Structure formats: C-alpha cells, structure tokens
Amino acid sequence: MRIGIGYDVHRLAPGRRLVLGGVEIPSAQGLIGWSDADVLTHAVIDALLGAAAMGDIGSHFPPGDPKYKDISSLVLLKRVRDMLKEKEWQVANIDATIVAEQPKLRDYIDGMRHNLSQTLGIATSLVSIKASTSEQLGFAGREEGMVAWAVAAITKE
C-alpha cells in the first residue's frame, strides 16, 4: 500500500462556474483556472499521482496547454486512473476536505462522492469528502479562494 497527499487552491471570481468534484454548484462566484478549476478533483489527482510517485498534475496536464483549456477535471482524473492502472495500481480509498466559507456544500457532497467514485471505478463508500470553513481567517475566510486537501491510498492489483 502507498499513500499520497494532494493540495490545491484556486481564486474565486464573479461570473465563473463553480465546479467541485464534477458537480456544478450555484454560486455568485466560481473558481479561476486553466481547466474547470475543480479544486477538489485537482487535489485528488495530486494525491493519487503522489502515492504512485508519478509527479504532479502540472507535469501531466500543464496549464497553458490549449488541449486542457476549460477541460473537465473528471476527464483528467480518468486519465490518471488509467495511468495508475498501467502501473498496476488500484485506488484503495480517497479522503478529502474542501475549505470554503460560501456556498454551503453539504447538499452537494453525495454528488461529488458519486462522480469521483464512478470516474475512479471504485465504490462510493471508498470516497470521503468533507467541507469546512476557515472561520473567516486567511484568503479562504475572506472568500478570495478555495482550498482542497486530499489523501489517497493505492494498492497493487
């Protein structure tokens, strides 16, 4: 078994879609990024790549590359799943936390868990997602951006 940790942060801006775990969430602000800026899925991708010692999201899907402009991060996650499979790694579980003041995410977490588990080809029970605030401290607390942390365990098939 191997374990990896992932971290991602994106700025918030008006007029952008807010996508977390492949779920579009109604919000006055969305995340800025080259792809869909799905901070949760990006953290999961980095955790998986880290567990397999395969680099990071930017080395595989560089920002600025036109083929990744506005791409769904679930597409990138599927590619990472396929890369792991080629190396005979299987995802054992995912645990992630999103840090955001607004909007409240509780009603969307089941959809995020479903999307991530389906993309990874694992049971939903193996994907944990939590939402927290930063108690109005720092850039996330000022609603300037969102943060996500993820831990992934992988095992050999």
**In three state form, how does the secondary structure of 77-91 look?**
HHHHHHHHHHCCEEE
Q: What is the pLDDT along the chain (157 residues), one digit of tens a residue?
A: 999 999 999 999 999 999 999 999 999 999 999 999 999 999 999 999 999 999 999 999 999 999 999 999 999 999 999 999 999 999 999 999 999 999 999 999 999 999 999 999 999 999 999 999 988 889 888 889 999 999 999 999 8
At position 24, the amino acid (one-letter code) is: E
Residue found by looking up tokens 């959809």 in the block = 111
Q: What is the CATH number of domain 2-156?
A: 3.30.1330.50
Strand pairing report for 145-156 and 2-14? antiparallel
Q: List the chain domain ranges.
A: 2-156
Q: What is the pTM of this model?
A: 0.96
Q: In whole angstroms, give the CA distance from residue 96 to residue 13.
A: 23
Residue 137 pLDDT? 85
